[in-house]
Amino acid sequence: MRSLILIALAGAAAQLVDGGIGMGFGVTSTTMLLLAGLGPATASAVVHTSELGTTLVSGISHWRFGNVHWPTVFKLGVPGGVSAFLGATLLSNLSLEAAAPVTSAILVIMGINLVWRFSRPRPKGPGTTRSHSTPFLAGLGVVGGFVDASGGGGWGPLSTSTLMAVGREQPRRIVGTVNTAEFLVTFGATAGFIIGLWDQIVANAAAVVALLIGGTITAPIAAWLISRVNPTLLGGFVGTAIVTLNVPRALGWALPHPVILGLQIVAVGVGVGLTLWASSRRSRRGREENQESRHVLGRGGSRVVASSDPEDSAPEGTESTAPVSINAD
């Protein structure tokens, strides 16, 4: 019962993270399941089985809101699903001793990706409307699917951040398309785990349900959270935590404990420092953009906004916004 409660809490926390930054459910929940004592393959299998329902609903929702580009979904998702199947099959056949460092190393990379993703300057908008080439999307799908299955997550951080960096589509369309394609990836990974770990999936069916319940309970809070929490801070701090928690499993077999502890301290310092710097920079840029917008409105919107002080003079080259008394002759 204690383990199920921890798993439900993992699902709740992962859903809050995913709601706050639009990605990270897999890597967050897998990290917490590993800390709760599940093996790497079992943790990834539990996460992907529970995601079958959530990714299907997410894809349908995005489609209804017009956020899905179907050609990209299939060019990205079909190779991703095949690769995820292979990654799940490989992870299922690795011993626990061999799988733990591999999974944790992938999670460390995904954590670094999250910190980098949310510390970069935001793109101004799509630079071109030219569509992505099929080889590019297929290659991205292959890498993303394999990483997602073998690491317990990473499809969103890898695929979304890559397409955002290229900047050929609106952010909402990128998120909707990647989330819809994730169903195909999740289906492929789950199929691989069913073949390789069917007995463990059945034995951990309660864990799947607990993860679903935890995520479902906090889903409304997550929807509220996304509009109120600074995504730069949340994404950066979550990425830092994922790196710090997985470094011992990823490198503990090769490095002594003092070195591991030093790496964790460095990870916290660098991650928190980058996150705070990026948040401060974006806040400053936002204030500058707001001031510029008010300046433009002050110059071009003088007929709409009336000055509260008749003594105020209008900007040079514009009409005064103060009430003017006109005497008819």
Q: Where are the domains of the chain?
A: 2-285
pLDDT digits (tens, 9 = 90+) for 73-113: 999 999 999 999 999 999 888 876 778 788 888 889 888 98
Distance of alpha carbon 249 from alpha carbon 35, whole angstroms = 10
| pLDDT confidence of residue 167 | 65
pLDDT at 298 over 90: no
Q: Which residue has the higher pLDDT, 271 or 163?
A: 271
The answer to whether 110 touches 27, Cβ cutoff 8 Å, is: yes
Torsion region of 120: left, alpha or beta (phi above 0 gives left; psi -120 to 50 gives alpha): beta
* Chain mean pLDDT for the chain: 80
C-alpha dist (Å) from residue 65 to 15, 58, 179, 205: 21, 11, 13, 33
What is the mean pLDDT of the segment spanning 50-75? 85
Distance of alpha carbon 41 from alpha carbon 94, whole angstroms = 8
| pLDDT confidence of residue 125 | 52
pLDDT at 161 over 70: yes
pLDDT digits (tens, 9 = 90+) for 231-280: 788 788 888 988 998 899 889 888 999 999 999 999 999 999 999 998 88
SS3 track for the chain: CHHHHHHHHHHHHHHHHHHHHCCCHHHHHHHHHHHCCCCHHHHHHHHHHHHHHHHHHHHHHHHHCCCCCHHHHHHHHHHHHHHHHHHHHHHHCCCHHHHHHHHHHHHHHHHHHHHHHHHCCCCCCCCCCCCCCHHHHHHHHHHHHHHHHHHCCCHHHHHHHHHHHHCCCCHHHHHHHHHHHHHHHHHHHHHHHHHHHHHHHHHCHHHHHHHHHHHHHHHHHHHHHCCCCCHHHHHHHHHHHHHHHHHHHHHCCCCCHHHHHHHHHHHHHHHHHHHHHHHHHHHHHHHHHHHHHHHHHHHHCCCCCCCCCCCCCCCCCCCCCCCCCCCCC
